[in-house]
Structure formats: structure tokens, C-alpha cells
Structure 1
Amino acid sequence: MTIADIERQIPETVVGAVRGTVIFSALVGLAVGIACLVWPSATINVLGILLGIALVVAGLFRIYQSFAATYLSGGLRFALGLIGLMILWAGIVVLWHPASDGWDNDYRAWFLAVFIGIGWIFQGLGDLFGATTGSRHSSVWWAIFSGVVAIAAGIIMIAWPNLGLSTFVWVSGILLIVISIVSLFNLPKKV
């Protein structure tokens, strides 16, 4: 059986649905990419709000887990609940900074930059650790290079959050536009 035989077995309605989904995703990607380039500060604010919502949901889930995970010891359940409360608190702080009279976009952007920066630093440390374990999944030198670049990007994001986030939004916007256009030219063919 060849790929062509398999393709002939896929109903036209499925191919049409996939084409529709790809077109919709590409158009949304184009719109978001253009929004990133036209309104970078608004994009950063929306990303900060989404981060805050994600933190609140993650914190509530961890708190729920601390009560539902009866197979864990009391100490682990307490630690899980405490972590959940800290994550929930961080989400509330991102969504509504208590020192402001309402929404504080600068604080939200700073928190988002720190979150991304810490993530990149941990990713870089993971890459460096992976390079020392003798794993043959990638070149040792590429793993070291990737680790150093990720750590440097994380430090830059934390040290200069406005520059880091602006660059991040611009590059993301350009990539979204390019990927969306390429997706539109690479639609599944009707059989």
C-alpha cells in the first residue's frame, strides 16, 4: 500500500475540513502577526493577561490536586497546596497589581519578561546538562551552543525586559506572518 492509496481512502469531507482548518489558522496567524507588528505594547499586555489567567488556573489546579491526590503523603499534599497558593498569588498579582489603581501594564510586562527569561535560563541549563550526559540525540557542541544562547537570552530578557519583549513580539509577529503565508500555499490537495 502506497501513500497515494491511503490518500484515496480519506473522504473528501475530511480533506475539506482540514483545508478549512488550515485556512482559518493561517488567517488568524496573519491577523495576530500583523497585530504584533502594529500594536506591540498591546500585544505584550494581552500576553501578560493570558499569563496571569494561566497562572490562576494552574494554581487552582494544584490546590485541587493537593486535596484530590489521596495517594500522596500529607507532607507532599501540603507542599502541592502551598505551591498552588503561590502560583495562584502570582497570577493574581500579574492580573491586578495591588500597588496600582487598576491594571498596571508595566508590571505585567516585567513579570512576563521575567517568566520568559527564567524559562530560557532553565532551558539553557538543561541543554548544557544534556551535553555533559553523553546523549547522542544531538551534537555536543550544538547542545552547548544552544544552552549558552538560551541562558544569554534569558539574562537579557530579565535585565532589559522592555527591549527583550519588544524584540520577542516583533520576531514572533514576523514569523507568524511568514508561517501563515507558507501554510496557505501548502494546503492539502483534494483527491
Structure 2
Amino acid sequence: MTSASRATSHTPGYDTGAPPGADSAERLARAAWQSMLLAGVAALGLGVVVLVWPGVSLLVAGVVFGVYLLVSGITQLVSVFGTHRSVSLRVMGFVSGALTLLLGLFCLRGATQSILLLALWIGIGWLFRGVTHLAAAVSDPGMPARGWQILTGIISVLGGVVLIVSPFASLTLLTVVAGIWLLVLGATEIAAALAVRRERRSTAHPVS
């Protein structure tokens, strides 16, 4: 190979054999599992905080859960383009992420209103997110870590239903129930993120 041909083969803009958009797809896939991992770590950390924090006030609980919903909404918006293949599923994921962001703002603005409202905001956020996860995983057989995605959706839906329909008489009961669910949800999301990472790596570098 001549020096001119070597320069041409390494010059940006020339065909290197990779399909068009491969780099963008790879970046989106990497951002997807990283955002899922961030959501799982945030859920796990929040679950620990609310369970070990004795006598947490309604204001603090509202702020903490509001921040979590904001993080969860952002990670949904980031991951929707890396894990969902069809346009309809991406739209559902985008709507779910935007709604979760809105509910997080409600928690922050109305943190001192009532325990029932706080449980309602959190529950609706979990319910919509879980439904989106389930719909995406069930309808897309090629989704990375599909089993973990389904399990995450089921846990999120169940947690949302419990928080919506259960009359919590005290903030302590709400934080205990939500904290336990956050621990389970966080661990599942972390496992799903790592599974997506493994599948992406095996697809990008298949064993010959």
C-alpha cells in the first residue's frame, strides 16, 4: 500500500467498511445502557436513604422523590432511542419520560401538601414507566436484555399500583413501602443495564 492510499484509508469521510450511521447507533446504545444504570443506581441509593433516615419530613420526602423522578425521566428520554426500535415505542417512551419529569416537578412544588398526593405522583410515574417498559419488551423480541426489561416493567407497574390505591396513613409507612420497592427496582434496573451492555458488546464483537 502506498503512502497516498494509506492516507486515503484513514482520512475522515472515506468509506471504512462500517455501515452508515453505525457510530451514531453505537453511541445511542452506549448512552441507553448507561442511563439505565444511572437510573438503577439512583433508585437503589434513594431506597437506602429513605429506609435509614428516621423521622423524615414530608418536605424532605417530597424533594427527594421529586429529584428521583426528574432523574428517572431524563434517563428514560436518553435511553428511548437506544433500546426501542419502532417509532411508536419511541413515542411511548418519550411521553413516559416527559410525564415522569412533570410528576417530579409536582413533587418538588407541592412537597408539603399531603402524603396522599405525594404517593399519587410517585405511583403514576412508576405506573406509566412500567407500562412503557412492558409494552416495548413484549412487542419487540429483539430488545436487548428483554427478560430483565419485562421484569423491570412488572415491578414498576406493581409499585405504581400499590402507591396509587393504598391509603397511606403516615409518611413513615409510605417511605418504607416506597423504599423497599426502590431497592428492588434499582437492583433490577442495574442488572438490566449490565445485561444490555453485555449483549451490545457480543453483537459488536461476535466470537468467531
TM-score range, shorter chain: 0.3 to 0.5
TM-score in terms of structure 2 length: 0.38
Larger Rg belongs to: 1
TM-score in terms of structure 1 length: 0.40
1 or 2 for the larger relative contact order (CA 8 Å, sep ≥6)?
1
